[in-house]
Structures are given as structure tokens and as C-alpha cells.
Chains A and B, each alone.
Chain A
């Protein structure tokens, strides 16, 4: 066996894996996670809903009064909505632990405050 030296060298090292729920890696900058929506910036053009490859975004209403509904269960986290938005109103945050025990909680409903 030619890997003995390597194996002996690693006897004194820590395991490379993390004990996940207790230890977590910090998410990288630019990770594609849960969505946030800025109601003040959104003009309701509907590009995000139109380009979404899995129809996970629903735009309720039109123009400046439009509101957004995102079905996280269908989302691919490809980031096309963020990329296509001309006003940067929709963004993906670094929140990645999105498991829910109830399917209803997987629907994000964004409302406008003033209306």
C-alpha cells in the first residue's frame, strides 16, 4: 500500500466534516437563498413572473399596486428573477435553511404596506 504515510499523517488531524446542526459553515457571499422584495422599488412590470422557469412567482395586480407571491416549494433558486429585475426590487438572500413541516409556510406573500 502506498498511502500509509498519508494515513499516518492524518491520524492526528481533526475530521474534515462538520457536525452540521451544531456547527455551520458561514454562507458564501452571493449564495442564492430565500427571496426578499422591496415594495418601494417594484414597479410591477412582471418580468420576474414571466421568466421564472418553474412558474414559482405569481404577480397579483398590475403596475405600482402589484403584489408578489413566491412558491418556495417550486423555486429552483436559479436567480433569474433577481437577474431580470430592472429595478433590483427582488433579491436572493443567504438564508438557506428553508425546510418547513407545513406546505403553506412555503408560500411567501409580499404585501405593500400603504395599500
Chain B
């Protein structure tokens, strides 16, 4: 007879990966049901934003997420600028676009390394993270910091791109694009990666739409939807680019989508640097924002990022709400996990590029005898690699 086991997965490990809890019901090697439990990383940021001025909020918003910090501040500054009815100079828009795309390259390299690590391909992990240093150095050169760039200001950007920096970025992204083409070839040729990613974590097109998936997860299920193209912000309405889609609906398609997005980002950066308009990079804005209600969207590396701002005519927002892409992808993630193997849990969760990425601890519950045991994320990763070696 089959036996169903409950496995709690997560939530706490403050060191590297973020906290999140999943309760899995498993039958032998198959996942029967999964219940996510969110809220372990609640920091009260939305409330804290109401106590600070718009200028101070800029730096708090940036710290919502380390990897997509620029996407969050772009979304925030867009909302505030719309409430202020300020037009940002075109040069500032282009610089925002360039930083956004550099950030996307950074995120996708980072993610590819994590995926390689989860399936036990440490060589690829080391090489992608080595190449990630190139883009981090470029961002440091441009903004003065490797992660929290602080490039956006309300009414423009803080630092200009000089011709010297521009030529260095050109050189850097050329290397990054070529390396990504090489990694893409490996990801589509290598037996290890194919065995662990093809037909794993299936999310059909119909489900992806009905469960409101966003970002590369949605595009890997063959839905051509991207905020950059559908609702252009910054300089995206002037820059030609393709929205990458794949129809595999599995982890392999998600890998291919992100690899192609990096190559596309390189082209966007090249175009933006070549067509960089002249002029000022910021406008002076008032500290007091008139009463308004604004919804602002950007395409963060992980998917659509949605911010809501309500101002009341003072220098502090009266309500601020952030919907990050991981929350939108969570229900789709549950769909992907059901019916898969236990050994595939780490790679499927990593596949949506979650911002909690909490391979922490999990409990398995056997449905026949209610036996419960707990596993840490690391142990589960090892189990997955070992289990596949036996196959």
C-alpha cells in the first residue's frame, strides 16, 4: 500500500537562504500535496515606510531585496514621480534602463549558479559565479557599490555614465554575452543537466495563466508577457528587444529562457549606450507629494513587481504596498511540485528563482502510519543527487 508522509520544509536559517515553510505530503517518492506557509521574513517594511520621508524611503525600499534592489527603487521612484507629475529627463531614463538590465544579467547568472548547485553540478556553479563578478564590478564602477546601488533618486538618477565607464561596460557585457552563449550550450547538451531538468516541474500554459505566474516562469510556459513590452517604462518604449519565450513548460525551459534573456539584455545595454541622449540626469522635485493613488509596475529579474502608493499631501506616504514576484509565483510553484519526486523539490523551488530560497528543514509525513521526520535543505539536496545517481 502507499504511504503518505508529511514533510515540513523550512522555515528558519538566518545565515544564507531566506526563511519559508512548505508542508509536503508524500507518497513514497511522489509529492501528493504541498502547503506553503509564508510570513517568516516579515520585517514590517510597509509600516516603516509610512514613518519616514520619501527621501528616506528610497533607501528602505532598496533593502526589500538584495538582488533586485534597483527594480524596487525604479518602481518606487516611478510611483512618486507620477504623483508629483514630474517628467524624468531622457538620459536618466536610459541610465535606469542600463542599470536594470545589468541587474538582470547579475540575477540570471546568480540563478544559473544556484540551479547548478541544486542539481549537484558544482563546476558550472563555480564558473557562473566567477563570471558574475564581471557584472558586479561593472555595477560597482557605475554606482559605487556592488549590491545596493543607490542609483535612483526621485526625479532622476544620481550618477552619470562617462564615456570611459561606457566603454568598460561595452567590453564587460560582450564577455558576459559570449559566456552565457557557452553556458546555454552546456545546459542544452549536458546529460546531467538534461536528466534533472527536462520534464521536471511541469507548469502547463493554461495553469500558468490561471495561477497568475509572472516573469521567466510564465515565459517558460509559452506566454509572451513582459511588463517591459506590455506597459513600457523607463526607456523600453524606445529600445527594440524580443520577449523570450519557450514552450517546454519545465525547468529546462526556465533555464533556456533566462539564458536567452541575458543575451537579450546585453543587446539592450549596447543599444542604450549607443543611443544615450544628452542632457541633465535629474530634476529638482518637491519634498511634499500631493494626494494621489498610484500603481506602478516594473519587470524585475524575477517577474512583475507591483507597488501601490497613497500619498496624503505630506512628506510621508500614508500607505505603501509591495507585491514582489515570488508571491505571485508561489501558487504556480505548488502546482509544479505536485506529482513530482521528492528529489526534485530543491530544483523546482529554485526554478522559480524564489526570493526566500529557504532550503532549510523539512518534515516528511508518511500517510499510512503518520510517521514524521525532518530534513534540512542541504540534506534534501544531497538526497536528490544520490537518488538520481541510483537511477
Contacts and interface: CB of A to CB of B under 8 A. Distances in A.
29 contacts: A1-B192, A2-B185, A2-B186, A2-B189, A2-B190, A3-B123, A3-B186, A7-B123, A28-B140, A28-B144, A30-B141, A30-B159, A31-B145, A32-B145, A51-B55, A52-B56, A53-B52, A53-B56, A76-B148, A77-B145, A78-B59, A78-B62, A78-B148, A78-B150, A79-B158, A80-B55, A80-B58, A80-B150, A83-B158
Given A2-B186, A28-B144, A30-B143, 9 more contacts: A2-B190, A3-B124, A3-B190, A32-B144, A32-B145, A53-B58, A53-B59, A79-B144, A80-B59
Nearest to B185: A2
Interface string A65-91: 000000000001111100110000000
B56 A51 contact: yes
Contact of B133 (A3, A16, A83): A16
Contact of B140 (A31, A76, A79): A31
A52 B145 CA distance: 18
Contact of A83 (B57, B123, B153): B153
Report the 9 A-B pairs with minimum CB-CB distance, sorted nearest first.
Answer: A53-B56, A53-B59, A30-B144, A78-B59, A32-B144, A2-B189, A78-B150, A2-B190, A51-B55
B314 interface: no
A113 interface: no
Contacts of B56: 51-53, 80
A114 to B, nearest CB: 32
B165 to A, nearest CB: 9
Interface in B39-84: 52-53, 55-60, 62
B85 interface: no
Contacts of A6: 127, 182
Interface of B: 52-53, 55-60, 62, 123-124, 127, 130, 133, 137, 140-141, 143-145, 148, 150, 153, 158-159, 182, 185-186, 189-192
A86 to B, nearest CB: 11
Contacts, number: 60
A38 B103 CA distance: 35
A77 B133 CA distance: 21
A28 B143 CA distance: 10
A71 B62 CA distance: 21
Contacts of A32: 144-145, 150
Contacts of B159: 30
Contacts of B189: 2
Interface residues of A, number: 20
Main secondary structure of the interface of A (DSSP, over half): loop
Contacts of B192: 1
Nearest to B56: A53
Contacts of B57: 53
Contacts of A77: 145
A96 B159 CA distance: 20
A32 B143 CA distance: 9
A30 B144 CA distance: 5
A1 B190 contact: yes
A109 B143 CA distance: 27
A46 to B, nearest CB: 14
Nearest to A94: B144
Contacts of B53: 51
B54 to A, nearest CB: 10
Nearest to B62: A78
Contacts of B145: 31-32, 77
Contacts of A16: 130, 133
Contacts of B148: 76, 78
Nearest to A84: B55
Contacts of A53: 52, 55-60
B287 to A, nearest CB: 9
A31 B145 CA distance: 6
Question: Which of B57, B60, B62, B145 lies at the interface centre, i.e. has the most chain A CB atoms within 10 A of its CB?
Answer: B145
Nearest to A16: B130
Contacts of B52: 53
A83 B281 CA distance: 14
A22 to B, nearest CB: 19
A28 to B, nearest CB: 5
A76 B59 contact: yes
B243 to A, nearest CB: 29
A51 B56 CA distance: 6
